[in-house]
Amino acid sequence: MSARRLDQLLSSLGYCSRRDARDWLKAGRISVAGRVEKDPGVKPSPAAVRIDGEPLDHPEGLLLLLNKPLGLTCSHEPREGPLVYDLLPPRWRARNPQVTSIGRLDKETSGLLLLTDHTELVHRLTSPKHKVPKIYRATTDADLSPALIDTFAAGTLVLDGEKEPCAPAALRLLGAREAELTLIEGKYHQVRRMFAATGATVLTLHRASFGPLTLGDLAPGAYRELTPAEQAALSA
Ligand code: URA
């Protein structure tokens, strides 16, 4: 990230407006490399900045793994609330660039959702070129025939309203009405529409993994930062 002016840095990390940042500087609350700094125009290394003696909160950006609970929407529009972003601290919600989800899950889908303010990462991981495998667990209102495995694997299923067929997808039957589906793309409501195309309605849907990442024992509604190893695996 290119060097930012001190007032811009504080406001982009969600601390305050640029105007308030200038007041904080005048009041002597900000130091850079151990010395009080009053000039809003300097462009310090974020790691050297302290506010009231405290280091900046994730100045290099956020990359979070959330276990999305049911009933929350992946949107920044308060009218569509409750929102997944309501789970985050207010300062993170005030960052610019905004913390946003890498792809979306429906309101009534639970599971693994990545949140970040690294805009470039959002573009890269949601690009159709990237083909990140994502595993979904679904339960349905009708028995699932083993013939569906070939139907989904063939890469010929055309969803209602689409011109291009879905890419080949791996279906694993877990029970009469329960299955795991691995997708490498992310069309709108894709899992629900794929099952609907074969005559079954999805009753519950949960995303268990995104590329190399899984939820482990993260509780619904909880989030954590990615470990350096997970970040490297995601970028590989
Ligand atoms: N497919 C769906 O139908 N819904 C989701 O939330 C994700 C994939």
Say how many Å lie between the CA of residue 211 and the centre of ligand 1.
16
Please state the separation of Cα 191 from the chain's center in Å.
Answer: 18
DSSP code, position 48: G
Average of per-residue pLDDT across 83-93? 98
The residue whose CA is least distant from atom 3 of ligand 1 is 189
- Inform me whether the pLDDT recorded for 2 exceeds 80: no
Domains in the chain: boundaries? 6-55, 63-128+213-235, 134-210
Helix (H) or strand (E) holding 173: strand 170-175
**Cα–Cα distance between 208 and 205 in angstroms, integer?**
10
Residue nearest to atom 2 of ligand 1 (CA): 189
Among residues of the chain, what percentage have pLDDT more than 70? 100
Report the SS3 class of residue 137: strand
Taking CA atoms, 60 is separated from 19, 45, 226, in Å, by 22, 10, 14
Tell me the DSSP string of 99-149: PEESS---TTEEEEEEEES-HHHHHHHHSTTT---EEEEEEESSPPPTHHH
Is 134-210 the same fold as 63-128+213-235?
Answer: yes
Q: Is 205 in the pocket of ligand 1 (CB under 6 A)?
A: yes
Cis peptide upstream of residue 46 (ω within 30 degrees of 0): no
For residue 1, what pLDDT is reported?
64
Fold for the domain defined by 63-128+213-235: Alpha-Beta Plaits (3.30.70)
Q: Please check whether residue 88 is in contact with residue 100, taking contact to mean a CB–CB distance below 8 angstroms.
A: no
Looking at residue 128, its pLDDT comes to 83
Place of tokens 């994502």: 134
* pTM, full prediction: 0.95
C-alpha 225 to ligand 1 mean position (Å): 23
CA 89/CA 174 separation, integer angstroms: 38
Kindly report the protein residue whose alpha carbon is nearest to atom 7 of ligand 1: 105
- Whether residue 191 has its Cβ less than 6 Å from ligand 1: yes
Stretch among 1-10, 85-94, 136-145, 188-197 having the lowest mean pLDDT = 1-10
Q: What is the CATH number of domain 6-55?
A: 3.10.290.10
Query: Which CATH class name applies to 134-210?
Result: alpha beta
pLDDT, residue 236, reads 78
Query: Could you report the per-residue pLDDT of 108-132, keeping only the tens digit for each?
Result: 999 999 999 999 999 999 988 889 9
Q: How many CA atoms lie within 13 A of 143 on its CB side?
A: 4
Model confidence at 81, in pLDDT bands (50, 70, 90)?
confident
Catalytic annotation on 143? no
Q: Chain centroid to CA 109: how far? A: 14
pLDDT score, position 214: 97
CA of residue 54 to ligand 1 center, whole Å: 41
Cβ-Cβ contacts under 8 Å for 160 (sequence gap 6 or more): 193, 196, 197
pLDDT tens, residue by residue, 149-164: 999 999 999 999 999 9
